[in-house]
Amino acid sequence: MSLTSRDVEKIAHLARLGITDPEKPVYAASLSKIVEFVDQLARADTGAVAPMAHPLAGQTQRLRADAVTETDCHERCQRDAPAVQAGLYLVPKVIE
């Protein structure tokens, strides 16, 4: 299946990726090649096979005690943040 520049625009928006106009046909071409390549999966006979949930059979998601284990490290974590004020991350105004 072939993807168009319009499709790329839609996918890029879903992924919140800024793509320039000249890039669109380039991505459309390479994504089409990739989709065509993975389309060969359709010919695999997967009948009653259940989709794989974990690479190691029988492993389940482990739970831990609901206890505080981390100390407050917001100053260290905000050291390299693009814009911080009074311990808060700054972004452009969201609600007009």
Partner 1 sequence: MSLHDRSIAELAGSLARGEFSSVELTRHFLARIDSLNPALNALITVTADRALADAAVADQRRVAGESGPLLGIPLIHKDIFCTDGVRTSCGSRMLDNFVAPYDATVVGRLKSAGAVMLGKANMDEFAMGSSNETSFYGPVHNPWELDKVPGGSSGGSAAAVAARLAPLATGTDTGGSIRQPAALTGVTGIKPTYGRVSRYGMIAFASSLDQAGIFARTAADAAPVLAAIAGFDPRDSTCVDAPVPDYVQGLAAPLTGLRIGLVKEFLDGLEPRNGALIGAALDVFRELGAVTTTVSLPNLPLSVPTYYVVAPAECSSNLSRFDGVRFGYRCANPRDITDLYERSRGEGFGAEVKRRIMTGTYVLSAGYFDAYYLKAQKVRQLITDEFRAAFERVDLLLGPTTPTPAFAIGAKIDDPVTMYLNDIYTIGANLAGLPAVSAPCGFIDGLPMGVQLIGPHFAEGRLLNAVHRYQLATDWHRHAAPGCA
Binding site for partner 1 (CB under 8 A): 3, 8, 11-20, 27, 30-31, 33-35, 37-42, 44, 46, 49-56, 59, 61-62, 64, 73, 76-83, 89, 91-94
- Name the residue nearer to partner 1 (CB basis): 16 or 66: 16
Min CB(21)–partner 1 separation in Å: 12
Beta strands in the chain (DSSP E): 84-85, 88-89
Smallest CA-to-CA distance from 31 within 5, 61, 60 is with 5
Find where tokens 């905000």 sit: 78
Min CB(68)–partner 1 separation in Å: 14
